[in-house]
Amino acid sequence: MNFLASFDNWLRKPSALCILLGAYIILSFVCLQYRSTHSDENDYYSYTLRCLRGKPERISAFDDSKTMLLIPAVLPRVVAQVLNPQLKRTDGGHSDILNGRYAMIIFAIAMLVFLWLFLKKTNLNYSMLVFPLAIIDPFFLTYSTVLTSDMAVGMCTIAFLYFAFQFYTSRKFHHLLLMSVAIGLGIVGKFSFAPILMGFGIGTIILFYRKLNGKANLLFLLKSAVISALVILFVINIAYPTDRRFIALKNESFQSERFNSMSKSFLGSIPVPLPINMIHAADMLSYHGQLDIPESDETFIGATWLFRSFHQPPVWYYYWLLLLIITPIFLLMLFSIGTLNVLARAQKNKFVFLATIVALLYCLYGGLFNRFQIGARHLLSMYPLLFITSGYALHVMGNYFSRKNFQIVCGLGGLWMIASVLYFFPHEMAYTNEFITDKRTAHWYVNEGVIDYGQLLEYEQDFRKNNPQYKNPLHDTTKNGKYAISSGALLYFAYRYKDPKSQELLRRKPDRVERFVLLIFE
């Protein structure tokens, strides 16, 4: 009996999808109970509320990357307010953010559904075997309930490629329409969606450049591109219905050198068919990425910590290194096998090739041009595509190995990934694979926002309160030698404040680590 073939067939059924999604929701909600709220979540929630009130203006430096796409996060409060018009809370919105986190899982569920649909549409035997790995992936479990736009953008990426796949095979207008809506929402969610589009464009040219010689094909492509562009612009504009639009750059004031230069050129006289708040968001991001701005205007630490030293971003290998460390090794092996095979057979499985190219070029672009190398969450824009390529690897392996050997490889690989994930559960945000053998030193290799995204703020405070012999090293005068500090805070104190004790501790191996993030020095 070919168990894996039967399992692959079962995974293609809607009932299997529902069961696995149910398991995913339970695991995600368990992980959620062990995370503090982060300042980024406060900023995202606050900006979304302002958008709903018709005030999308960017009033804070930290509004540069915020979006109204997170409306599901404020729905619990909206419903509660409708049911109880007299409702007032005095906790500064903390409980609303906690409730909003549960609603955020809608983006992760949608992402997984589109991943399932994409894998199913490829119609490659054994490719569906990768889907259960997505259900238990620590990256997906962690960010399914984090109140930022990264998971939403990842959902838009896989939806965009799925509907592009559908449009390629059907040539139906509604698939083009849905593809364009996904692109528009992706741009609204984060400007880092742009490398996804660039990668898709480059991959499309590689695949189809020979077919562009025909007049009929060129006309069809031009017509589709115009329709898609109009739909994308409509989606972006309808996302901010109360904002100003069609404003010439010369009539606005900007912070960044790039936008000031454009406003003074001939481009400054052309009305821009976009909400003005998005133009100002792009200006703010451009400004915050400049090297010469005052320290008071900086929105991130300003340096990338890798391999026990600080680097000036961008660091070209940053996202490759993150993938190497935060991706379960079995999945990493599958992705590598799939990449090598699909690049050699691009025309045979065109949209698997496109998914692979987009993922690779995203990491390449981010490493070369993105100064905001401040965390793993940015990888969520392309991370779902790893499973497309990995599913293709399972298809190739299933046809290459004997049935027995294939079952052994999949069985051992699956158990390895389960054990690796369970070792960290429910603290999956701090996950690193077995390439880092001593988890006490994980913070030596990668910077803040990778293993520490402020998820233990409350736990850290409670730990020092209940164990007063352990101090925060910043400005500590007791000199008793016992410290408890999260890895992200230690990096920040060492670099930004140049605190001598923090710099010393950053070079030392902690005696133990609590929840993989709180460093304990005896």
Q: How far apart are the first and last CA of the chain?
A: 57
Peptide bond connecting 426 to the previous residue in cis, omega within 30 degrees of 0 = yes
Which comes out higher in pLDDT, residue 463 or 298? 463
Structure token digits, residue 461: 């405070």
Give the pTM. Answer: 0.95
The closest alpha carbon to 421, from 101, 145, 135, belongs to 135
CA distance 522 to 516: 17
pLDDT digits (tens, 9 = 90+) for 407-457: 999 999 999 999 999 999 999 999 999 999 999 999 999 877 899 999 999
- 16-27 pLDDT, tens digit each: 999 999 999 999
Give me the amino acid identity at 454: G
> Do the beta carbons of residue 53 and residue 83 sit within 8 Å?
no
Local confidence band at 352 (pLDDT 50, 70, 90 cut-offs) = very high
What is the arithmetic mean of pLDDT over 230-250? Answer: 97
* Confidence class for position 38, pLDDT limits 50, 70, 90: confident
d(Cα 204, Cα 54) in Å, to the nearest integer?
39
For residue range 270-329, list pLDDT tens digits in order.
999 999 999 999 999 999 999 889 988 889 888 899 999 999 999 999 999 999 999 999
Query: pLDDT digit string (tens) for 102-129?
Result: 999 999 999 999 999 999 999 999 999 9
CB distance 439 to 149 below 8 Å? no
pLDDT value at residue 480: 77
* pLDDT for 171 beyond 70: yes
Angle at 236 between CA 233 and CA 238, to 5 degrees: 105
* Confidence at 1, pLDDT banded by 50, 70, 90: low
Query: Which pair of tokens denotes residue 238?
Result: 């309808």
Has residue 214 got a pLDDT over 80?
Answer: no
Range with the poorest average pLDDT among 134-148, 362-376, 475-489, 493-507: 475-489
CA separation for the pair 67, 281 (Å, rounded): 10
Q: What local confidence, expressed as pLDDT, does residue 208 receive?
A: 86
DSSP string, 388-401: HHHHHHHHHHHHHS
